[in-house]
Structure 1
Amino acid sequence: MSKVIIGITSFCGEEKDKKFNKVRCSYVNAVYKAGGVPVVIPPFNNLKLSAQYIDLIDALILSGGNDITPAIYGESKLPQVKDNNINRDKWEIDLFKKAYQSNLPILGICRGMQLINVALGGSLYQDIDFQLNCDLPHLPLDLQRKKNLEYEKHKVDILKNTQLDKILCSEKIHVNSHHHQAIKNLADDLTISAKSECGITEAVEAKNHAFLIGVQWHPEDLIERISCFNNLFSALVDSAAEK
């Protein structure tokens, strides 16, 4: 059986006055460990190129990153929103919509889950601390943890009889957490498949799509500590291989 190609979105970052296309190595490693061939997709301003990537790949991972521009979901920007990039937002929304229409398997991680919701017509809480009554911290509390996502932050409840429930090993699972935004209004095409202890949406999946899952945590950073999270990437690869 030929290997399946998994596209992973990236962003343009700057280091020492030079710009690089960047994505955490853990995304690439997780796909490779699951048996897929990872291909990093750079962001482009030319949306015509997105169709060429959809023709190239067998499945899509929407990676984490900066805040999504609130104007896209019809809201004014709060002061707590930082470092949004409208060009990346438009590129990834277009890429997602083409993948969705082509029925490609899709996995959204952190920002990627939020982008799926926004692209399908949902909205976000722009800042959890400002807009929600949740005592559970979702951002790292110290500098060391800001640099390392390979830790378990809080517990999430996986909803029964969901696709995610069939993939993961437990109905209650400890996850890492590195976000200050969350889903507010859920898109009509989605259903919730996991929640945090204070009710924040931690995972979603599509009602009518073979494989579309979004998780708010970073499973790619936990696969060495919690082998169960390998199942999520294996399920993505297996779904792509079946097409």
Structure 2
Amino acid sequence: MKNGTPDSRAARLVAVTTGIRRDDDADRVGLSTSYLQALKNAGLIPVLLPPVYDSSTAKSTLERVDALLLTGGGDVDPSFYGHTARHEVRRLSRARDESEISLIHAARTMRMPTLAICRGIQVINVALGGTLVQDISSDWPGALPHDSSVRSTRSHPVKLEAGSLTAMALQVTELHVNSLHHQAIDKLADGLQITGRAPDGIVEAAESIDPDWWALCVQWHPEDLVEDAQSPDRGIFAALADRINK
């Protein structure tokens, strides 16, 4: 970056959000290395962001990078979308929620390319005014099993809107994806449009309605499906790199 503008000679830096886990009586920040490898495959360099940002620091931080990646993790605290917990919540972190919501608003204002994965699609929906299905198996009649623990298994199909960012990135309008979530988008935020669903109607892909803000959001984990050089999921990260380079 140079004065907030990408430098064609510089490596492309992607700010990557991280989570907090309790381990050996200490809170530790981290994320799956599969995100890092997927970015590397696309010629991008990850910059890990701890969950410490607020509205006063998010923009100045993002000015130092070229894109934002919102990663998977625990549930978003229901209070951020005006609800109370009606089911078991998993690995809540208000610090992470507050940090990522601040980063999302900054990225939107800056029109910064943004890729949102799993929890990422959920928190971006919440940040823009939407709500979540708190537990799919309890609240979504006829739901497929979405809460697998096997990252490398493609569990169910997703149909994508032709011409959407996700369909163009993957170069397909239907594919099978892995599925490691128990929550999903419920009420869609005004700033997003749905571009992909599972057969049971669960939202699997969305994007920004603002043509100047490239924001590609998926509910599955493409970073865990890119080991095969021919995997269509590599296109998700290649699309991010292409957008940065425009």
Common fold: TM-score over 0.5: yes
Kindly indicate whether the alpha-carbon contact (under 8 Å) linking 1:128 and 1:134 is maintained by their aligned counterparts in 2.
no
2:160 is aligned to 158
Residue from 213, 227, 239 that aligns with 1:235: 239
Within 5 Å, give how 1:115-134 maps onto structure 2: 115-134=123-142
Matches of 2:130 and 2:53, distance apart in 1 = 23
State the partner residue of 2:218: 215
SS in 2 for 1:227: coil
In the other structure, the counterpart of 1:179 is 181
Q: 1:77-111 CA distances to partner (integer Å, 9 max, x unpaired)?
A: 11322221111101100011101110000010000
Q: Which amino acid aligns with 2:164?
A: T
Off by >6 Å, runs of 4+ in structure 1:
none
Q: Deviations over 1:13-59 (max 9, x none)?
A: 22222332111101111111101111111111655332332111100
Cα displacement (A) at 1:62: 0.3
* Superposed counterparts of 1:77-226, under 5 Å: 77-140=85-148, 146=149, 148-208=150-210, 209-225=212-228
| CA–CA separation in structure 2 for the residues paired with 1:122 and 1:227 | 31
TM-score (norm 1): 0.93
**In the alignment, what sits opposite 2:3?**
none
Q: Hey, what's the Cα distance between the residues in 2 that align with 1:24 and 1:181? A: 20
User: How far, CA to CA, are the matches of 2:65 and 2:153 in structure 1?
Assistant: 31
Q: What residue number does 2:62 align with?
A: 54
Indicate the larger mover: 63-72 or 208-217: 208-217
With 154-163 and 116-125 compared, the bigger mean Cα shift is at 154-163
Whether the 8 Å contact between 2:54 and 2:103 is mirrored in structure 1 is no
Percent same amino acid at aligned positions?
36
Give the alignment's Cα RMSD to 1 decimal: 1.4
> For residue 81 of structure 1, what is the amino acid of its counterpart?
V
- Structure 1 range deviating more: 199-208 or 232-241: 232-241
Normalising to structure 2: TM-score of the pair? 0.91
* Structure with more of its chain in helix, by fraction: 1
Match of 1:17 among 21, 25, 43: 25
Offset from partner CA, 1:164-205 (integer Å, 9 cap, x none):
221113211010001001111111111111100111110000
Q: Is the 8 A contact 1:124 1:182 kept in 2?
A: yes
**Alignment partner, residue 143 of structure 1:** none
Q: Which runs of 5+ in 1 are unaligned?
A: 141-145
User: Contact between 1:195 and 1:203, CA under 8 Å: does it hold in 2?
Assistant: yes
CA distance in 1, matches of 2:78, 2:198: 23
Shift of 1:135: 3.6
Alpha-carbon separation, structure 2, partners of 1:154 and 1:28? 25
Question: 1:192 & 1:229 partners in 2: Cα distance?
Answer: 19
Higher deviation after alignment, 10-19 or 85-94:
10-19
Could you say what secondary structure the match of 1:116 adopts? helix
What amino acid does structure 2 have at the position aligned with 1:204? Answer: A
- 8 A Cα contact 2:144 2:200, kept in partner: yes
1:178 corresponds to which letter in structure 2?
Answer: L
Moved more, 211-220 or 126-135: 126-135
Unaligned runs of 5+ in 2: 1-8
